[in-house]
Amino acid sequence: MAQVEITEPTSLRRFFGIRLGIPVGIVVAIGIIGGAASGKPALITWTLIAVAIMAVILGVELPLILRTQARNRRRLVAQAPSGTLFACRATPLGFAGYLPSGSLRQQSRNRGVLAVGSSGVSYRPLHAEDPNLAGHEDLGWTQISKVKVVPKTALGGGTFEVTNFAGFAHRWQVSGIPELVDALNQLGVNGGGG
């Protein structure tokens, strides 16, 4: 069975502290300093109101986005062949985590469905008519030497990498890392090499 490597995700507090805290802090500082320097307390008030509105929007939208992603993954698993425990929309990554093409339009064309199940790992591009075209990948567990899961954030996104015995690594950017790890555990693909 394949060797599995799972790294710990970035904490949610650190993720939001860096991604949101710094820009919001700068906006608040500019609003407060600008309001104090110009003698207009309304600028300070409106800055604080804008920050409160952003917090409410984030608090409402984030759970909705995560719920929609989970629902889409459940739908993809239901549509997948029997034995599939995890499926999600995925973007293939090139070597060292770089996307195979630079333009966003080409990246969206490369998106597809990644499925992990009892037969192995498969990837199907969304916009390919012929299943024999390049981009379709089916790797059975007997072909896989290493599985690596790298969460990017505590929100469930990250990188899934499968290496075959020839040393070639297939990488995808995926969502639902906790569900992926659960599926690997159910399949008996674990850090002990099974």
For the chain of 194 residues, list the mean pLDDT of each consecutive stretch of 10: 71 70 85 85 87 87 86 88 88 59 51 89 76 68 90 80 87 88 83 41
Q: Indicate the number of domains in the chain.
A: 2
Report yes or no on 77 lying in a domain. Answer: no
Report yes or no on 168 lying in a domain. Answer: yes
Report yes or no on 149 lying in a domain. Answer: yes
Q: What is the pLDDT of residue 193?
A: 40
Helices (H), 39-83: 41-79
Q: How many CB atoms are located within 10 Å of the residue 173 CB?
A: 19
Report yes or no on 72 lying in a domain. Answer: no
Question: pTM of the predicted model, to two decimals?
Answer: 0.68
Residue 48's domain spans which residues?
12-67
Report yes or no on 170 lying in a domain. Answer: yes
Q: Are 112 and 93 in contact (CB under 8 A)?
A: no
Q: Are 162 and 147 in contact (CB under 8 A)?
A: yes
Report yes or no on 22 lying in a domain. Answer: yes
Q: What is the pLDDT of residue 38?
A: 86
Q: Give the rounded distance of the alpha carbon of 37 from its chain centre.
A: 43
Report yes or no on 96 lying in a domain. Answer: yes
Q: What's 167's domain CATH number?
A: 2.30.29.30
Strand 84-93 relative to strand 3-6: parallel, antiparallel, unpaired? unpaired
92 and 181 assigned to the same domain: yes
Report yes or no on 106 lying in a domain. Answer: yes
Q: What is the spatial distance between Cα 171 and Cα 106, in angstroms, rounded to a whole number?
A: 17
159 and 108 assigned to the same domain: yes
